[in-house]
Structure 1
Amino acid sequence: MSLTRRGVVTLAASVLLLAGCGSSGDDAPAASGSAAAQEKVTVEWWHIQNIEPMQPVWDAMAKEYMAAHPNVTINITALENEAFKAKMTTVAQSGESPDIYQTWGGGVLQQQADAGIAKDITADIASWADTITPAAAAAYKLGGKTYGVPYDIGMVGFWYNKALFEKAGITAPPATWGEFIEDVKKLQAAGITPLSLAGKAKWPGHYYWAYLAMRVAGLDALKQAAATKSFENPDFVTAGQKLKELADLKPFQNGFLGANYDTPDGQAATMGNGKAAMELMGQWAPTVQKDTSKDLGDDLGFFPFPMVEGGKGAATDAFGGGGGFAVGADAPPAAVDFLKFILSPENHRKEIGTGAILPVIKGTEDAVSNPRGKMVAETLAAATDFQLYLDQAYPPAVGQQVNDSVAELIAGTKSPEEVVKAITETAQSE
């Protein structure tokens, strides 16, 4: 395997623990007619779209690009999310990186840039940067420089089974946390498992604490905590208490602590098979449900995370993010040129057409035909503010501590107070 190399850079293992036919463009270096552009080059591309519908779409685009650029070979490594994180961590410890690789932006990407692994592509994409929607691009702009480009944007919310809600006598999605708790009890009384959760994966659980922190303390409190490296805010303790209130009801499927997300017996499959009424997940949830189990069809609905009574956060503030790609520090010009190719409006429309991702390129919004995608897009369009996943927004070690501590809170082995203390101690040790 050929990877770009920046010399031996010693990184802590936590640094990279992170928790789709148009012209390539006449102005791109790799598409020029220079002799240098015709030299044989290999582009190593690592992504996490290792299942349908996106994997075959990107395979086809890589083949199309290589046919138009015979001097370029694109080697694709498609990995499951957690496998990607582990593999990326291993190669990064030797100061290596693929030429193009999955990123979610934020603090993780910042540390990659600081370590010399990710390339500043501000100048490289200058001719087409303005085709990307500002909200989608924000997570990849760090200190005035751009280190990645998005291919998807969306938000986390509750996906729910309308038929199971009806069976439990629930006539409308809950708008407040109190209503949500009552609905959990109604579902249990009807013999229905309220929630599906991948306890082993940990990152899905952090969505609960993050949203509760947003609703109770407000987005500014999370930003201040990151700046001061102190999360020992009474409002964050309250958020943990709210989550403990939920966990104490034992609302998750049997064996959730050992469940992964996208396995045949994992969170998505439990939801898709109708064995749980809800899952808190991002815009990709329907696709993974279908791939691992069944398509719930018209029975699948979506609603935003409820407001918390008396909280300081707005009910219209959204939490989530999207996938993107960073470029290895020593990647050939063809790497950026290929990103331009797959993000051309024509190709992006093909990606959107799978129903697996939402638009990041201006003028492609009408390509969203999937009703589930429209539900998320409409909710996101009404959002008043936005918070990136905490395990990506914060430095990697801090994000991992959030995931670990929240998992322990849900399992009943850590208190709300201990959660904020552990996160604070990790932040202050960075």
Structure 2
Amino acid sequence: MKKRFFKIAKLTFMLSLSLIVLTCCSFSSQKEKNSKITLNFFNQKPEITAQYQKLARMYHAKHPNVNIQITTSGQGGGAAALQAKFASGEAPDIIMLGGLPEIDRYKDHLINLKDLKASKNIVPNLVSGGISNKRMVGIPVNLEAYGWSYNKAVFAKAGIDASKINNYSEFLKAVEKLNSEKKKIGIDAVFGFNGADTNSIASVSAQFTSLPYNNNLVKAFKSKTFPWKYERQMKNYYDLVKKYNVQPILSVKYDPSVQDLFFNGKVAMIPQGNWIIPTLDGLEKGYVQKNLGMLPFFVKNDGTDRLLTGSSWYLGITKDHPKRQKAAKDFINWMYTSKEAENVIINEMRFVPAIKNFDVSRLPDDLSKQIYRIGTSKNAQSPVHKQYPNGFTNQALGPYIQRYFVNGISWKELKKETSAKYRQLREIQSGE
């Protein structure tokens, strides 16, 4: 009887132990399952979606519990798509934001990134573009240069040395020479500006509206008036484009202007920046190093003009999902500090880095190295078009300049209407 009691007790103990082990295993398995995190990353630059997806896969390989879902919406529809995400209660964890007006729209959702490791190495000239209420809520995506992209081969055929163009008078002479020798050098027109695209119109306008703010993007964002200090220079350049551009100017779109007109040497210049580098080298390896140069707009015209350099896009982290904040921070830190990410960003995205810790000697072309030198110098000047009020580019500036291009509005009318719309939108959006 005693033996039987001990056998039953032993069996009961073993069964209990097995149950405990199974329970623990189940709990551990559930805990491991619960520790898996999916970060939602909202990207507004469609041209680098594939590279962001590659970075996400690379990070997941090292951090199996973290999945990164890239959602892309751009080409003018990004802002509306992002608003829809927040309105539906599906706020992303990481968001790409264009300019302080957009950052201001989501400021109550954004966490302070000042203590992030990635933030310590931001190029100082780019910091102000990610500031809201004295908090650093955005990290610049890259360093961009704004100016005239010129085709070296076309210039060479015309016997023009771009290094000797140092003021507006010399630029004008080069334009007139290119125009007079169109047939000889085989171009359709001097310029291939994409007048159909209001965003490109806005980036050109920044050449004339940025200098008054002396690189202070917060001041530009708070300004209630459109700056006309360099109005004469602005009109001169727009008139040059009207006269010497591929026609009809309003039918010229962005992709054809870069991939056909410029790449194939049908035009000598387009007012674009280094964001066209991946496209050009994608069409022909080594094209950029061999054939792409940049000239500044001569606005002050006193020998100090240089390419505008800044960042159009900033990455922020939302506080809508507290349990995912640390993972989002870790991913951002990895993107901005690791050698693996550096390799993709420099060699595949072809970004000029917005941070100081990447090895810029690895940049694949001389133009990118030049842009980095200019953008990190103490005299760097940032473009302010991303600080215009929300809607101003598409509702006012772009359409009015398009009308000016086809003689549908006078410069005086353009100035009056543009100024009024700027003031109206700024007052509405500032709540004053």
TM-score, structure 2 length as denominator? 0.77
Deviation at 1:428, TM superposition (A): 2.4
Q: Say whether residues 1:335 and 2:331 are aligned partners.
A: no
| CA distance in 1 between partners of 2:221 and 2:44 (Å) | 28
Aligned residue for 1:152, secondary structure, equals coil
More helix by share: 2
Q: How far does the alpha carbon of each residue in 1:164-193 deviate from its partner, in whole angstroms, 9 at most, with x for none?
A: 112223233532222222222211211132
Q: Which residue of 2 aligns with 1:283?
A: 274
Q: 1:229 to 1:81 in 2, by over 3 A?
A: same
| CA distance in 2 between partners of 1:276 and 1:324 (Å) | 33
Match of 1:326 among 311, 316, 319: 316
Q: Which residue of 2 aligns with 1:384?
A: 379
Aligned residue for 1:386, secondary structure, equals coil
Amino acid at match of 2:193: L
Q: Say whether residues 1:425 and 2:415 are aligned partners.
A: no
Structure with max Cα Rg: 2
| CA distance in 2 between partners of 1:171 and 1:58 (Å) | 39
Identical positions, percent: 20
Amino acid at match of 1:275: K
Q: Say whether residues 1:39 and 2:32 are aligned partners.
A: no
CA contact (8 A) 2:125 2:375 kept: no
Q: Which residue of 2 aligns with 1:199?
A: 195
Q: Which residue of 2 aligns with 1:190?
A: 181
| CA distance in 1 between partners of 2:274 and 2:83 (Å) | 26
Q: How far does the alpha carbon of each residue in 1:292-322 deviate from its partner, in whole angstroms, 9 at most, with x for none?
A: 67863454232332324667x9414725424
Amino acid at match of 1:288: T
Q: Which residue of 2 aligns with 1:120?
A: 111
Aligned residue for 2:274, secondary structure, equals coil
Aligned residue for 1:388, secondary structure, equals coil
Q: Say whether residues 1:408 and 2:403 are aligned partners.
A: yes
Deviation at 1:127, TM superposition (A): 4.4
Q: Which residue of 2 aligns with 1:12?
A: none
CA contact (8 A) 1:348 1:361 kept: no
Q: 1:279 to 1:248 in 2, by over 3 A?
A: closer
Q: 1:356 to 1:405 in 2, by over 3 A?
A: farther
Deviation at 1:103, TM superposition (A): 1.9
Aligned ranges for residues 345-364 of structure 1 at < 5 Å? 345-350=338-343, 351-354=345-348, 356-364=350-358
Aligned residue for 2:153, secondary structure, equals helix
Q: Which residue of 2 aligns with 1:230?
A: 225
TM-score, structure 1 length as denominator? 0.77
Amino acid at match of 1:359: P
Q: Say whether residues 1:375 and 2:370 are aligned partners.
A: yes
| CA distance in 2 between partners of 1:151 and 1:222 (Å) | 16
Q: Which residue of 1 aligns with 2:123?
A: 133
Q: Which residue of 1 aligns with 2:9?
A: none
Aligned residue for 2:382, secondary structure, equals strand
CA contact (8 A) 2:210 2:383 kept: no
Deviation at 1:145, TM superposition (A): 0.6
CA contact (8 A) 2:193 2:245 kept: yes
CA contact (8 A) 2:41 2:93 kept: yes
| CA distance in 1 between partners of 2:117 and 2:285 (Å) | 43
Q: 1:383 to 1:127 in 2, by over 3 A?
A: closer
Deviation at 1:219, TM superposition (A): 4.3
Q: 1:221 to 1:359 in 2, by over 3 A?
A: closer
Q: 1:258 to 1:102 in 2, by over 3 A?
A: farther
Q: 1:126 to 1:61 in 2, by over 3 A?
A: closer
Q: Which residue of 2 aligns with 1:97?
A: 91
CA contact (8 A) 1:196 1:276 kept: yes
Q: Which residue of 2 aligns with 1:300?
A: 291
| CA distance in 2 between partners of 1:420 and 1:164 (Å) | 35
Q: 1:411 to 1:295 in 2, by over 3 A?
A: farther
Amino acid at match of 2:270: E
Q: 1:268 to 1:82 in 2, by over 3 A?
A: farther
Q: Say whether residues 1:242 and 2:232 are aligned partners.
A: no
Aligned residue for 1:245, secondary structure, equals helix
Q: 1:346 to 1:271 in 2, by over 3 A?
A: same
Deviation at 1:130, TM superposition (A): 1.1
CA contact (8 A) 2:289 2:365 kept: no
Deviation at 1:255, TM superposition (A): 4.2
Deviation at 1:336, TM superposition (A): 2.4
CA contact (8 A) 1:160 1:278 kept: yes
Which shows bigger deviation, 131-140 or 377-386?
Answer: 377-386
| CA distance in 2 between partners of 1:220 and 1:358 (Å) | 19
Q: Which residue of 2 aligns with 1:72?
A: 66
| CA distance in 1 between partners of 2:216 and 2:36 (Å) | 51
CA contact (8 A) 1:316 1:382 kept: no
| CA distance in 2 between partners of 1:165 and 1:218 (Å) | 34
| CA distance in 2 between partners of 1:177 and 1:140 (Å) | 33
CA contact (8 A) 1:48 1:78 kept: yes
Q: 1:329 to 1:422 in 2, by over 3 A?
A: farther
The structure whose RCO (Cα within 8 Å, separation 6+) is larger is 1
Deviation at 1:55, TM superposition (A): 4.0
Q: Say whether residues 1:177 and 2:168 are aligned partners.
A: yes
Q: CA RMSD in A?
A: 3.3
Q: Say whether residues 1:208 and 2:204 are aligned partners.
A: yes
Q: Which residue of 2 aligns with 1:13?
A: none
| CA distance in 1 between partners of 2:364 and 2:227 (Å) | 44
Q: 1:310 to 1:343 in 2, by over 3 A?
A: closer
Deviation at 1:393, TM superposition (A): 1.5
Number of aligned residue pairs: 383
